């Protein structure tokens, strides 16, 4: 009860400090007449974070990761330029610091210096919110959790020390003094970047570039969608097989295991490719799939049950298709939140059940590849293949052309 109550209070203080620091930083760059809305902005931001966290951890990371990267890049530019452009001032600053420290020691003594240091240390408690978040989120990390947690904490502590130390040095080099209504970082940024060309036009340029990139990505996905429509045409023109084979599968015979995500033209094309490329080799077909529970479906038992029934229906369609071609066929499925982990575990269990088996999955290939291919497309097939092959399970990725 004591630890739980303390943790609740701790969470509220963490959010309060983080949101207050964010609001102070942002409103340092707006005109004075708008600063009266800072409290309303902070309260609204808390509501946004609540709604975001209710959707799930992965969704929160997806939204917040670009903000974190922007923070890193802007501070690299701020500290890099701020220090390198004033390297000639480092020696005078060090001399002044030593002189001031000697005078303070003689005036207020060591106890007084330590009291000021502890006061400043307590006011900087907001810097610990990130480290604390990593510690509290240890249970959602991938295995090995302890090693990943230690590594992440080391990265956080190192980056915090570098950023804080760099900011303190820049304050001294640029002679930053407090200004009412502005954070020290805002004052420093104003002085460092005030002589840079473009000014506000740089923001317009960056925003326009992001919009242009989004338009290009949208057009690209539309092109891929149009190219994949030919797969769905297979559903209307599936070759007629023989009389359906209703024999049970034999675990001792050679088995082809196909990973599928739903009954569509892409999965059918992969199945036909297995038959075409490995004729008369496999005597069984097993179709495996993972019902992925995400924030869109995890809204109650009814939604999860509906998801499971939908996946089963798709797998049964694949089983009927394989039997129509004369193959004994069955399916295996799993419900999970991570398609790679759940898929690998399901495949390992299937491999034990069918020792003489080969695993197949399809991957979209393009006539003209570009460097952003892996960013814009899901690499689940390769991730599963790496895990299975490391476990000694033969896994084949069949290339499926997406362009006409």
Task: Give the domain 234-401 fold.
Answer: Rossmann fold (3.40.50)
* Whole-Å CA distances, 46 to 14, 34, 49, 97, 399: 12, 19, 5, 40, 46
Confidence of residue 129 (pLDDT cuts 50, 70, 90): low
Tens of pLDDT, residue by residue over 201-252, are 666 677 778 788 888 888 888 887 777 777 776 665 666 556 788 899 999 9
Percent of the residues in the chain that have a pLDDT greater than 70, as a whole number? 86
* Cα(293)–Cα(288) distance, integer angstroms: 16
pLDDT of residue 238: 67
What pLDDT shows up at residue 44?
A: 93
Interatomic CA distance for residues 268 and 183, integer angstroms: 60
- Report strand pairing: 357-365 vs 284-292: unpaired
CATH 3.40.50.620, the chain: domain bounds: 234-401
Tell me if the bond preceding 144 is cis, omega within 30° of 0. yes
pLDDT of res. 374: 66
Which one is predicted more confidently, 145 or 385? 385
Confidence of residue 292 (pLDDT cuts 50, 70, 90): confident
The segment with the largest mean pLDDT, out of 133-142, 272-281, 294-303, is 272-281
Residue 76 pLDDT greater than 80, yes or no: yes
Dist. CA 259–CA 360, nearest whole Å: 6
pLDDT of residue 283: 93
Full-model pTM: 0.52
Query: Could you report the per-residue pLDDT of 44-64, keeping only the tens digit for each?
Result: 998 888 888 777 666 677 777
Task: Pick the range with the lowest mean pLDDT from 45-59, 233-247, 253-267, 354-368.
Answer: 233-247
Average pLDDT over residues 56-80: 80
* Phi then psi dihedrals of residue 179, to 5 deg: -130, 135
Q: Is the pLDDT of residue 40 over 90?
A: yes
Task: For residues 255-271, give the mean pLDDT.
Answer: 89
CA–CA distance, 126 with 129 (Å, rounded to integer): 6
Handedness of CA 203, 207, 208, 210 (dihedral sign): positive
Judge whether residue 169 has pLDDT over 80.
yes
pLDDT value of position 354? 95
Provide the pLDDT for residue 148.
Answer: 83
Please give the span between the terminal C-alpha atoms of the chain, in angstroms, as a whole number: 64
pLDDT of residue 243: 76
274 has a pLDDT exceeding 70: yes
Residues 6+ apart with CB under 8 A from 278: 256
Q: What are phi and psi of 397, to 5 degrees?
A: -105, 120
């Amino acid at each position: 009860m004591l630890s739980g109550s303390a943790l609740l209070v701790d969470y509220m203080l963490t959010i309060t400090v983080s949101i207050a620091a964010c609001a102070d930083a942002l409103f340092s760059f707006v005109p004075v007449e708008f600063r009266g809305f800072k409290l309303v902005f902070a309260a609204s931001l808390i509501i946004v974070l609540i709604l975001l966290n209710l959707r799930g951890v992965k969704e929160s990371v997806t939204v917040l990761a670009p903000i974190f990267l922007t923070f890193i890049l802007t501070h690299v530019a701020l500290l890099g330029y701020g220090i390198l452009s004033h390297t000639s001032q480092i020696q005078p600053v060090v001399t002044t610091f030593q002189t001031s420290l000697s005078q303070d020691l003689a005036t207020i003594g060591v106890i007084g210096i330590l009291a000021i240091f502890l006061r400043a240390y307590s006011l900087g408690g907001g810097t610990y919110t990130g480290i604390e978040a990593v510690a509290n989120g240890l249970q959602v990390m991938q295995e090995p959790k302890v090693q990943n947690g230690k590594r992440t904490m080391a990265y956080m502590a190192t980056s915090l020390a570098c950023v804080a130390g760099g900011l303190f040095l820049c304050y001294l080099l640029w002679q930053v003094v407090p200004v009412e209504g502005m954070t020290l970082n805002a004052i420093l940024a104003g002085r460092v970047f005030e002589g840079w060309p473009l000014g506000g036009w740089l923001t317009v340029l960056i925003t326009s570039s992001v919009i242009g990139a989004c338009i290009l990505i949208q057009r690209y996905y539309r092109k891929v969608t149009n190219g994949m429509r030919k797969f769905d045409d297979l559903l209307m023109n599936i070759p007629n097989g023989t009389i359906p084979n209703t024999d049970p599968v034999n675990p001792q015979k050679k088995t082809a295991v196909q990973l599928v995500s739903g009954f569509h033209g892409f999965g059918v094309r992969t199945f036909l490719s297995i038959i075409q490329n490995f004729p008369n080799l496999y005597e069984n077909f097993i179709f495996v799939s993972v019902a992925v529970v995400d924030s869109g479906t995890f809204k109650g038992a009814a939604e999860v049950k509906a998801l499971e029934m939908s996946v089963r229906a798709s797998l049964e369609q694949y089983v009927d298709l394989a039997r129509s071609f004369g193959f004994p066929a069955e399916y295996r499925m799993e419900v999970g939140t991570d398609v790679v982990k759940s898929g690998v575990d399901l495949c390992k269990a299937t491999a034990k059940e069918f020792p003489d088996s080969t695993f197949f999955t399809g991957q979209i290939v393009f006539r003209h590849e570009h460097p952003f291919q892996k960013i814009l497309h899901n690499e689940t097939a390769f991730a599963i293949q790496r895990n299975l092959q490391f476990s000694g399970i033969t896994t084949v990725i069949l290339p499926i052309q997406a362009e006409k």
